[in-house]
Structure 1
Amino acid sequence: MSPQPRKSLIAHIFAKVQFYGVVFVLIPFIFVFQITIVYPELVRKLKVSLVEQIVHICLISFCFINVIGNLIYSIMMDSSLKRPVFGEGTYCEECRMVRPVRSWHCMQCNVCIVKRDHHCSFLSRCVGLYNQRYFVLFLGHVMLSMTYATYYNYYFVTMKFKGDGWALSAFRIFNPLLRFIIPEPMGYKDVYLFFLIMNVALIVWSGTLFYWHFKNVLMGVTSYEARFPELKDASRWKQNLRNVFGTKWYLAIICPMCESPLPEEAKYV
């Protein structure tokens, strides 16, 4: 039986464009925007002390490193099955080999994924045993980073509008056709408000996904298994966390480069 073809070239290119656009354009642009425009203005207006500035630079650098690092590791870490296993498992007709329990064949990747959670079109690969840690932490750090950025962007936009014009700019952002009706031209304030709205949207997006996936981690189930209540086991939440984030989970959550090996149990449950 010949292997099934991978997904179409157009879909593959589109997924890669999404990845490179976020990693090399959107996230760095938000970082630069915060550092070069938002924060200097707040420092000047609010007279922030040097110590507070250093703390802010350290925190925003921490957020940037964790968002980019976990995203890149989500791509680099491969959870595909390289060789058949011996003992308990199921036989894959496509790969023609025995795979571990909870491993599934992905029709898009055309390979079996160890402890497959789901296929992520954004990453253009499956989330499984070896990259689930980075994927979940990527979502969590995006949520924290955008919340932190929104706090400062709110004060920045408030100073720019001085309490007036919020509704007008918001209407023009959500409905660009209004710019042909409203005589006041669009300006930099509209761009600043757009960034604030985008921050809030990213908080909702990343927060919703993080809640769903982290809850599954605590319950010890994959996205597919989450639909079966009898498979959930919240009583083992500590071990469930270790099975995803590793034995040194406390290091994994603060730095993607820290080594946190998975316990042997995680490879067979």
Structure 2
Amino acid sequence: MPGPEAHPVPSPGLPPTPPPAPPVATVRCPNCRTENAADRTLCIHCALLLDPGPAPELPPPWWRRIFRRHPRRAPLAGARPRRRLWRRPSLALPLTLILVAALVWFGLPHLSGLLGFAKKETGSPESVPPSAFRSSSRAPGHPAGAAFDGFNNRYWAPKNVGAGVGEYLECDFDQPVRVMKLIVFPGTSAKADEFLTQARPEKITVVLTSADGRKVSKRIRLKDQAGPQTFDVVGAETVRARLTTDEVYGAGNGRRLAIAEIEFFGRRS
């Protein structure tokens, strides 16, 4: 029978034999096939990058690259950058120019209307005097036309002496107007010494009627003072306006309601 495995006994006086060294790891260059040490970055023969890293990501689809700009990538170490003889133009500028040209082409027919609308909305209103006027009643020498003649030295007064509540002035416009403001001169005159000789309107209901029959109503309150008082009263396509007195200052003692002047401001259609 074989005995136990025998181990060599080192000779006395000699150093022990070292174990064999492990094989050295190498990396083969993919270009020139030269063996390189595993810790090298560039090939010892052709200087090509031995470990280029992970593969580059696939580019996004073309519809995502239209308006997207990418920074220029630096060339890899050891690689020679290629010169581009032709650079693909960006599509953002041509598409923008086409869009602007289309907007201009289709917007030209409506440009004058838009400018007219802007003028109506932002321009200063102008005086729009009525062409016809009437009243609920009139005192001798004080017709309805005295309140629309452009002067405040004459005034309209109703026939009845007393409160004047319910009395009204009404006027028509020869063509539809966009009413924007209303100016009222209450009393007999704009002069302070003549202002208190008759009763004055305190509250007035203004009704604007458009060409299609629609009505806009607004109640205004006047101060008991001489001179013009301005109110924002807006009505589109207005052809008729009525001002009805609801309350009065200084009624009684034989006084009649008095309105020296009424003026409308706006735009003619």
Larger helix share, 1 or 2: 1
Q: Rg larger in 1 or in 2?
A: 2
The normalised TM-score by structure 1 is 0.24
Larger strand share, 1 or 2: 2
